[in-house]
């Protein structure tokens, strides 16, 4: 029983790590650009497909292929911002929300158009599970966890400790005051989009390596990542990440008692409960005027 | 002829969906991204009751409408106080829950296989006659719904809803219980969605979970934005433009063979996505625009 419990806990943390990177990105976009970004999933998918093409068709070494995937997702994110979202700044939130659905549809079906809807896999050597006491862990999951924690710490450091982070917080709190203090909101937005696209891209590539690459892989994770971010408090990127880990744990442990097919349901049910008590999420800030 | 019937039927059903969503989003400012959940509830309720339990068709439609409304009531009570953006995501989660339920309760919904053998009204007249008769019934109900929404829009209630949309706090300051009005709007809009879902089930005669993906919600949003959010006749125009495009491109598929079927359907959704972005950027008030009452630029949060 203990072994099963531990195994589920480990799986839950891994699931949390997969959701943490996009959840942090969603929270950053929410805080700085002010809307729920529904096309975030396609950033993940695009990175996975780009890395797959680089590794599979061009036979680039894996690190280069991963780098290529990250560059492509960064370009896609910046492209979305410059091509669409920037022109909608100052409009009601709903406009941006719906525009991001349009972007998501365009990119998701663009991928289906170019690569078909079949699953693809990275050309990776076969893995062997590592036995740590009673628990079996896949090597890729260890990489995934390491990447998630590195990203979490990196974003923490960037947000709290660097000039760029201070500017980001300044722009998100009060754009006009930030502009008066000689901070360029345009540059901050650009930096933010590069950052969140790389985060999303990294999780997309890792997820593709762990499971399969498919046109809807990002979208499928996105709903959960959104739920996690809202659970933890979407105005706070670290709250969102913690929300992701908690939700991963609860869904994996929950299936010990609830049928597996309802795993996603547990998460959404949990969120509704939490929002009843804490309408801004577990670590959310008070309602901003 | 079948093709024309299908376009008209889907156009009418999407008109109805857009009308219900317009009441929520256009009039009151409630962003419901789980709209398809109530369509699914209406469709499945009517299908299960009429096929499995041999209820009369009208009773099935009424039950589907009622159950969709009933399901939205607790959801509204619990979540409508959340900020609009949070509500949007919670409702999206709710529609996923409903879809999971439909997929997993196989003894009730037949899971992924779906329910077959749903009858059209007056099926005993034979397929030749029952199709146009069904269309007339759907058209009559759509007209009735349009009249209802029109009435609401031109009543003091409609003015209050627009006031809530424009400034919730100000409406509250005037002594209006905005929360209960929002719940009311959610329930009425969901009832419309439920009825549309029941009609859909009896028109296509076969339902399965994949027909109730979030794409239905998004298509409804597109129809609404195409026609103009908040206008009274916009949803009708938007729905028919959308359906004409969707069905038209399917017909084109039979004649043009440059691309594979998969690519053609992908291209269709790429165009929809692109159209959505272009509309939002250039014509946020829809093809028809909003004749008067241009919404003053609301001061928004950090841009």
Q: What is the mean pLDDT of residues A164-175?
A: 81
Q: Tell me whether residue B261 is in a domain.
A: no
Q: What is the mean pLDDT of residues A147-155?
A: 87
H-run or E-run covering A275: helix A263-277
Domain extent, residue B158, equals: 2-213
Burial zone of A143 (CB within 10 Å; 0-12 exposed, 13-18 middle, 19+ buried): middle
Domain extent, residue A153, equals: 2-118+140-277
Checking if the pLDDT of A47 tops 90, the result is yes
**Residue from the list A31, A89, A101 with its beta carbon closest to the beta carbon of B218:** A101
Q: Tell me whether residue A50 is in a domain.
A: yes
pLDDT, one tens digit per residue, over B135-193 is 999 999 999 999 998 888 888 888 888 888 888 888 888 888 888 888 999 999 999 99
**Residue from the list A89, A230, A268 with its beta carbon closest to the beta carbon of B96:** A268
Q: Which residue on chain B is closest to A117 by alpha carbon?
A: B262
Checking if the pLDDT of A228 tops 90, the result is no
Q: Which residue has the tokens 């099935």?
A: B60
Residue A202 in contact with residue A151, Cβ under 8 Å? yes
Q: How confident is the model at residue A142 (pLDDT cuts 50, 70, 90)?
A: confident
Residue A90 to residue B303, Cβ atoms within 8 A: yes
Residue A32 in contact with residue B302, Cβ under 8 Å? yes
Q: Tell me whether residue B276 is in a domain.
A: no
pLDDT of residue B289: 56
- A103 and chain B: CB distance < 8 Å anywhere? yes
Q: Tokens representing A162? A: 């660097």
Å between B281 CA and nearest CA of chain A: 7
Share of chain B above pLDDT 90, in %: 29
Interface of A with B in 212-231 (CB under 8 A): 223, 226-227, 230
Å between A33 CA and nearest CA of chain B: 5
If you ran DSSP here, which 8-state letter would residue B175 be given?
A: T
Q: Which residue on chain B is closest to A92 by alpha carbon?
A: B300
Number of independent structural domains in chain B:
1
Q: What is the mean pLDDT of residues A267-279?
A: 74
CA distance B123 to A72: 55
Alpha carbon separation from A194 to A68, A189, A197, B213, B291 (Å, rounded): 14, 9, 5, 31, 40
Identify which of B201, B168, B213 has the alpha carbon closest to the alpha carbon of residue B29: B168
- A129 and chain B: CB distance < 8 Å anywhere? no
Q: Tell me whether residue B232 is in a domain.
A: no
Averaged confidence pLDDT in chain A: 85
CA distance B24 to B87: 12
Q: Tell me whether residue A151 is in a domain.
A: yes
Q: What is the mean pLDDT of residues B273-300?
A: 66
Checking if the pLDDT of B294 tops 50, the result is no
Q: What is the mean pLDDT of residues A181-205?
A: 89
pLDDT, one tens digit per residue, over A22-37 is 999 999 998 888 888 9
Q: Tell me whether residue B23 is in a domain.
A: yes
Number of independent structural domains in chain A:
1
The SS3 call for residue A130 is strand
Cα dihedral sign, A142-A144-A150-A152: negative
- A112 and chain B: CB distance < 8 Å anywhere? yes
CA distance B53 to A167: 63
Pairing type for strands A135-137 and A130-132 reads: antiparallel
Share of chain A above pLDDT 90, in %: 27
pLDDT, one tens digit per residue, over A77-124 is 999 999 999 988 888 777 888 899 899 999 999 999 999 888 888 887
H-run or E-run covering B133: helix B127-153
Partners of A120 in the beta sheet? A213
Task: Please report, for the domain that includes residue A75, its CATH number.
Answer: 1.10.3470
- Residue B69 vs residue A11, higher pLDDT: B69
Q: Tell me whether residue B236 is in a domain.
A: no
What is the complex's ipTM, to 2 decimals? 0.82
Q: How confident is the model at residue A284 (pLDDT cuts 50, 70, 90)?
A: low
Phi (first) and psi of residue A9, to 5 degrees? -65, -45
Q: Which residue has the tokens 């996603």?
A: A264
Q: Tell me whether residue A286 is in a domain.
A: no
Q: Tell me whether residue B158 is in a domain.
A: yes
Å between A105 CA and nearest CA of chain B: 5
Q: Tell me whether residue A269 is in a domain.
A: yes
Q: Tell me whether residue B254 is in a domain.
A: no
Q: Tell me whether residue A123 is in a domain.
A: no
- Residue A190 vs residue A261, higher pLDDT: A190
pLDDT of residue B271: 87
Residue B269 to residue A173, Cβ atoms within 8 A: no
Q: What is the mean pLDDT of residues B37-50?
A: 95
Residue B247 in contact with residue B268, Cβ under 8 Å? no
Q: Tell me whether residue A284 is in a domain.
A: no
Q: Tokens representing A282? A: 């577990």
Partners of A137 in the beta sheet? A130
Share of chain B above pLDDT 70, in %: 91
Q: Tell me whether residue A261 is in a domain.
A: yes
Q: Tell me whether residue A288 is in a domain.
A: no
Q: How confident is the model at residue B61 (pLDDT cuts 50, 70, 90)?
A: very high
pLDDT of residue A106: 94
Q: Which residue on chain A is closest to B297 by alpha carbon?
A: A91
Q: How confident is the model at residue A286 (pLDDT cuts 50, 70, 90)?
A: low
Phi (first) and psi of residue B258, to 5 degrees? -70, -40
Interface of A with B in 21-80 (CB under 8 A): 30-36
Q: Tell me whether residue B229 is in a domain.
A: no
The SS3 call for residue A120 is strand
């Amino acid at each position: 029983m203990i072994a099963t419990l531990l195994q589920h806990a480990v799986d839950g943390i891994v699931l949390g790590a997969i959701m943490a990177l996009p959840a942090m990105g969603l929270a950053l976009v929410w805080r700085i650009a002010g809307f729920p970004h529904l096309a975030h999933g396609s950033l993940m998918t695009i990175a996975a497909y780009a890395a797959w093409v680089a590794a599979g068709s061009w036979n680039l070494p894996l690190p280069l292929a991963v780098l290529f995937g990250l560059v492509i997702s960064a370009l896609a994110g910046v492209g979305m911002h410059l091509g669409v979202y920037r022109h909608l700044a100052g409009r009601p939130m709903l406009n941006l929300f719906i525009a991001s659905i349009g972007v998501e549809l365009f990119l998701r079906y663009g991928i289906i158009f170019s690569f078909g809807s079949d699953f693809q896999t990275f050309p990776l050597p076969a893995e062997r599970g590592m036995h740590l006491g009673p628990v079996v862990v896949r090597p890729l999951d260890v990489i995934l966890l390491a990447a998630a924690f590195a990203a979490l710490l990196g974003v923490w450091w960037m947000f709290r400790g660097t000039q760029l982070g201070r500017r980001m917080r300044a722009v998100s709190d009060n754009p006009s005051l930030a502009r008066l203090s000689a901070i360029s909101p345009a540059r901050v937005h650009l930096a933010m989009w590069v950052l969140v696209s790389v985060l999303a891209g990294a999780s997309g590539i890792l997820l593709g390596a762990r499971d399969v690459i498919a046109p809807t892989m990002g979208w499928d994770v996105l709903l959960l990542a959104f739920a996690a971010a809202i659970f933890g408090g979407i105005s706070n990127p670290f709250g969102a990440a913690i929300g992701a880990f908690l939700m991963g744990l609860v869904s994996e442990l929950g299936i010990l008692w609830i049928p597996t097919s309802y795993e996603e349901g547990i998460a959404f049910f949990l969120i509704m409960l939490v929002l009843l008590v804490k309408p801004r999420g577990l670590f959310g800030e008070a309602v901003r005027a | 002829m079948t093709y024309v019937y299908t376009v008209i039927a889907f156009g009418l059903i999407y008109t109805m969906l857009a009308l219900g969503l317009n009441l929520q989003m256009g009039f009151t400012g409630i962003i419901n991204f789980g709209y398809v959940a109530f369509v699914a509830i209406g469709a499945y309720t009517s299908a299960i009751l009429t096929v499995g339990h041999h209820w009369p068709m009208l009773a099935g439609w009424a039950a589907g409408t009622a159950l969709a409304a009933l399901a939205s009531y607790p959801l509204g009570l619990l979540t409508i106080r959340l900020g609009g953006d949070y509500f949007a995501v919670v409702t999206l989660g709710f529609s996923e829950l409903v879809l999971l339920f439909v997929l997993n309760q196989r003894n009730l919904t037949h899971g992924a296989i779906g329910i077959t053998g749903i009858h059209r009204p007056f099926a005993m007249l034979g397929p030749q006659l029952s199709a146009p008769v069904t269309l007339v019934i759907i058209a009559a109900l759509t007209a009735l719904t349009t009249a209802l929404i029109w009435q609401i829009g031109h009543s003091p209630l409609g003015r209050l809803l627009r006031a809530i949309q424009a400034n919730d706090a100000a409406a509250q300051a005037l002594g209006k219980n905005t929360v209960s009005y929002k719940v009311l709007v959610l329930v009425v809009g969901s009832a419309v969605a439920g009825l549309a879902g029941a009609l859909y089930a009896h028109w296509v005669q076969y339902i399965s979970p994949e027909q109730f993906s979030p794409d239905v919600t998004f298509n409804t949003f597109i129809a609404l934005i195409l026609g103009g959010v908040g206008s009274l006749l916009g949803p009708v125009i938007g729905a028919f433009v959308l359906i004409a495009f969707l069905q038209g491109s399917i017909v084109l598929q039979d004649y043009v063979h440059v691309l594979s079927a998969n690519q053609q359907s992908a291209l269709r959704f790429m165009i929809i996505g692109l159209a959505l972005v272009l509309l939002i950027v250039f014509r946020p008030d829809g093809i028809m625009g909003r004749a008067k009452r241009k919404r003053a630029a609301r001061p928004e949060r950090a841009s």
